[in-house]
Amino acid sequence: MNPRLFRLPQRWMSWAVALIALTLALGFSSKSVAFLRAEELDGVVNRMHSPLLDEVALVLDYLDRPIVVVCILLVLFAISFYWLRWNAIGVAVVPGLGWLTAVIIKSTVGETRPMMTHLEHQLPVAPMTSGFPSGHVVFAAAVVTVLVMVTPRRIVAATLLIGVAIVFVVAWSRMYLGLHFVSDVIGGILNGVAGALLFAGIWDWRIMRKVAANPRHQIEQP
């Protein structure tokens, strides 16, 4: 049995640090290089609107509310508990911590949000934090990354495919509402993956120390 909970890539720490550095580089660069923000793209996405798309985007706007995040993490715990038992706590804790790294990146970069006055189709949303990276996308990317690292191998490909689609829809919704530049959502993907890798690696390191002290603490990988 493998004592580790997550199927991490080799040199996971290097990957996490590199992705965080790339996230910061993109954030600072996009503040001074308008091309990276692709400001007109929000308007293009927003013009392709419909009542159904409005509802989808507005529902997804609740994705990073703390109570919604907690509920989603509890659902992840409940589902993964079926095959991981109490080790499923890690499946809930790691994406939550990965999501919180967005707070540090946001305060460090301090990117302003797009001006919504140019949108053809404005919806009632009120952003409360700075723009880069998109916290919604960070959370979605962190959750998907964790699920890919813990789901049974026979369904990893399907998990990845569905997860990428979910992240894409969340990213689209942020631009549809005019709340983020394209650089914000790309930064959100990088930040979410980096945060998940970082805390998954730390979680497994904690498990390895526990196993070293008591070999009975093992995790059976599906």
The model's pLDDT over 182-201, given as tens digits with 9 standing for 90+, comes to: 999 999 999 999 999 999 99
Task: Indicate the pTM of the whole model.
Answer: 0.90
* Low-confidence stretches of the chain (pLDDT beneath 70): 1-3, 208-222
Domain count, the chain: 1
Place of tokens 């954030």: 27
Let me know if residue 3 belongs to a domain.
Answer: no
- Kindly state the tokens that stand for 174: 């942020």
Residue 84's pLDDT is 82
CA–CA separation, 137 vs 120, rounded Å? Answer: 24
Let me know if residue 7 belongs to a domain.
Answer: no
CA–CA separation, 138 vs 195, rounded Å? Answer: 8
CA–CA separation, 6 vs 220, rounded Å? Answer: 11
CATH of the domain at 57: 1.10.606.20
CA 219, 15, 164, 51 dihedral sign is: positive
**Domain housing 81:** 23-213
Let me know if residue 16 belongs to a domain.
Answer: no
Let me know if residue 5 belongs to a domain.
Answer: no
Let me know if residue 193 belongs to a domain.
Answer: yes
Let me know if residue 198 belongs to a domain.
Answer: yes
Residue 43's pLDDT is 79
Phi/psi at 117 (5° precision): -65, -25
Exposed, middle or buried by CB within 10 Å (0-12, 13-18, 19+), for 116? middle
Let me know if residue 1 belongs to a domain.
Answer: no
Let me know if residue 131 belongs to a domain.
Answer: yes
